[in-house]
């Protein structure tokens, strides 16, 4: 367990000598329990092949008894038998190379499969397959205390290169952390307490980032360091195929809401987004971290960031939106068509079998949005028009069709409060038709 692991934004705490020598707990929004464990078993000598298999069997037994609880089982040992040195070298090499080969899934899959085949050949199908997915080998020589302090000091300098430390305090920080863990064996030590102990011993705040970084993983990007990941790869419309509305509700909305609840409990009020995502996902992210829950968002765009608390202060910051308020509902529902640079209403009418514009709330903007303050002004204008129509017609729900920048979809979802259940749609350009995606209900 290293300092970078403690600084991981998902790290929640650790326990020494619980069910394993050391276990660390991490927030994991997609996991069944919302959390996962990293489990470490330390050995001071070189194990024989039989002793290694015994350790691996203990890891496998835990996983069978408590499935989907551990993210990784790590054996920490100073050395391996000469004939098995490759199991400490090859898996680490494959793992390190994955980000580089990530754009080439065939290469990545071939590398992973070769490693799995080698492990299965060495240890049999059950242990070998389990090793490939869940076991790490960490080769560490157990040094004297002085050497361990040097390693700890190096960790601090690497993690915080811009802080002006009094390096003579590093041994005291190491001792404080070591003594705390020794004293509290069998009890959970929270991230907050561990950091406080280090900061007090150093006499300096570590200036940890208060904003929570949330990364939306699509089918073609990997996790940047220092972020919480939401796996949205199944909702990226690969080959023009989107999941059913129920799949959105069961597989994407819950981890987003779990992340929002987790962030609120830890007073993360500002969320920094990254990644790539479709419009429905963008809207859902904004809705999950909406303003009424106390969140503000930093939304990435190509030229920088749009912040949801950049509010317009003068009329010149109001983009020239053209608004058309409908005269009636469609099957008891309010149809909303929003377009930036392109008006989607004709495709919407075709999809719904409508012949007149009078049945649709239409909001169009013929120029691009240049700044976050313009995006927020746009959100205010659209939300006002929708709220007025809802008040007038009292619809059972809203059908929302949106064409524009994903950043605006996030910002609009962030303010989609006190409105009826909303069905979102994605446009398939190849077929020139819409498909229903997620339903969001406040």
| Lowest pLDDT segment from 46-55, 195-204, 312-321 | 312-321
The 10s digit of each residue's pLDDT in 372-411 is: 999 999 999 999 999 999 999 999 999 999 999 999 999 9
Q: What pLDDT is attached to residue 314?
A: 65
Instruction: Report yes or no: 402 and 279 within 8 Å, Cβ to Cβ.
Output: yes
Q: Give the Cα separation of 213 and 258 in Å (integer).
A: 15
**Percent of the chain topping pLDDT 70:** 97
Q: What pLDDT is attached to residue 101?
A: 77
Q: Give the Cα separation of 105 and 111 in Å (integer).
A: 10
Cα atoms in the 13 Å half-sphere on the side-chain side of 243: 19
Q: How confident is the model at residue 223 (pLDDT cuts 50, 70, 90)?
A: low
In DSSP notation, 334-377 reads EEEEEEESS--HHHHHHHHT---GGGEEEEEESS---SHHHHHH
**Percent of the chain topping pLDDT 90:** 69
Q: How confident is the model at residue 315 (pLDDT cuts 50, 70, 90)?
A: low
Q: How confident is the model at residue 236 (pLDDT cuts 50, 70, 90)?
A: confident
Secondary structure (3-state) at 59: helix
Cα atoms in the 13 Å half-sphere on the side-chain side of 286: 26
Q: What pLDDT is attached to residue 45?
A: 83
Q: What pLDDT is attached to residue 219?
A: 66
The 10s digit of each residue's pLDDT in 10-45 is: 999 999 988 889 999 999 999 999 999 999 999 888
H helices of 124-210, in order, are: 125-134, 145-159, 170-183, 191-202
Q: What pLDDT is attached to residue 303?
A: 86
Q: What pLDDT is attached to residue 50?
A: 95
The 10s digit of each residue's pLDDT in 106-163 is: 888 898 899 999 999 999 999 999 999 999 998 877 567 787 888 888 888 888 888 8
The 10s digit of each residue's pLDDT in 70-83 is: 999 999 998 999 99
- Residue 207, pLDDT above cutoff 80: no
Instruction: Report yes or no: 63 and 70 within 8 Å, Cβ to Cβ.
Output: yes
- Residue 201, pLDDT above cutoff 60: yes
Q: What pLDDT is attached to residue 221?
A: 58
- Residue 312, pLDDT above cutoff 80: no
Secondary structure (3-state) at 206: coil
The 10s digit of each residue's pLDDT in 240-267 is: 789 999 999 999 999 999 999 999 999 9
- Region of 373 please: left (phi>0), alpha (psi -120 to 50) or beta: alpha
Instruction: Report yes or no: 12 and 26 within 8 Å, Cβ to Cβ.
Output: yes
Instruction: Report yes or no: 403 and 340 within 8 Å, Cβ to Cβ.
Output: yes
Dihedral over Cα of 43, 47, 50, 53: its sign: positive
């Amino acid at each position: 367990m290293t300092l970078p692991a403690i600084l991981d934004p998902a790290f929640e705490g650790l326990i020494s000598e619980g069910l394993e020598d050391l276990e660390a707990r991490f927030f994991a929004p997609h996991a069944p329990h919302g959390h996962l464990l990293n489990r470490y078993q330390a050995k001071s000598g070189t194990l024989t092949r039989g002793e290694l298999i015994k350790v691996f069997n203990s890891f496998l037994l835990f996983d069978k008894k408590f499935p989907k609880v551990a993210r990784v089982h790590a054996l920490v040992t100073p050395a391996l038998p000469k004939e098995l040195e490759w199991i400490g070298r090859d898996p680490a090499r494959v793992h390190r190379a994955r980000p580089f080969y990530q754009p080439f899934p065939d290469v990545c899959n071939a590398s992973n499969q070769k490693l799995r085949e080698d492990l299965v050949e060495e240890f049999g199908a059950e242990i070998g397959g389990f090793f490939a997915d869940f076991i790490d080998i960490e080769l560490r020589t157990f040094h004297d205390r002085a050497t361990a302090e040097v390693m700890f000091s190096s960790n601090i300098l690497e993690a915080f290169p811009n802080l002006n430390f009094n390096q003579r305090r590093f041994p005291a920080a190491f001792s404080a952390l070591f003594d705390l863990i020794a004293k509290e064996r069998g009890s959970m030590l929270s991230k907050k307490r561990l950091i406080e102990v280090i900061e007090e011993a150093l006499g300096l705040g570590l200036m940890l980032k208060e904003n929570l970084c949330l990364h939306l993983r699509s089918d073609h990007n990997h996790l940047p360091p220092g972020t919480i990941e939401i796996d949205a790869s199944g909702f990226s419309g690969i080959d023009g195929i989107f999941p059913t509305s129920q799949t959105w509700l069961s597989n994407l909305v819950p981890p987003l809401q779990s992340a929002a609840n987790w962030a609120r409990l830890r007073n993360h009020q500002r969320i920094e987004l990254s990644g790539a995502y479709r419009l429905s996902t963008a809207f859902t992210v904004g809705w999950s971290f909406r303003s009424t829950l106390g969140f503000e968002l930093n939304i990435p765009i190509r030229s920088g960031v749009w912040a949801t608390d950049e509010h317009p202060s003068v009329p010149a910051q109001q983009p020239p939106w053209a608004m058309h308020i409908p005269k009636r509902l469609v099957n008891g529902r309010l149809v909303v068509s929003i377009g930036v640079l392109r008006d989607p209403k004709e495709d919407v009418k075709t999809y719904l079998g409508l012949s007149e514009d009078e049945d649709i709330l239409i909001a169009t903007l013929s120029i691009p949005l240049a700044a976050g303050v313009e995006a927020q002004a746009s959100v205010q204008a659209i939300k006002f028009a929708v709220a007025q129509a809802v008040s007038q017609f009292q619809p059972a729900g809203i059908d929302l069709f949106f064409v524009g920048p994903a950043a605006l979809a996030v910002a609009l979802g962030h303010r989609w409060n006190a409105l009826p259940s909303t069905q979102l749609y994605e446009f398939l350009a190849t077929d020139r038709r819409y498909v229903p995606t997620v339903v969001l209900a406040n």
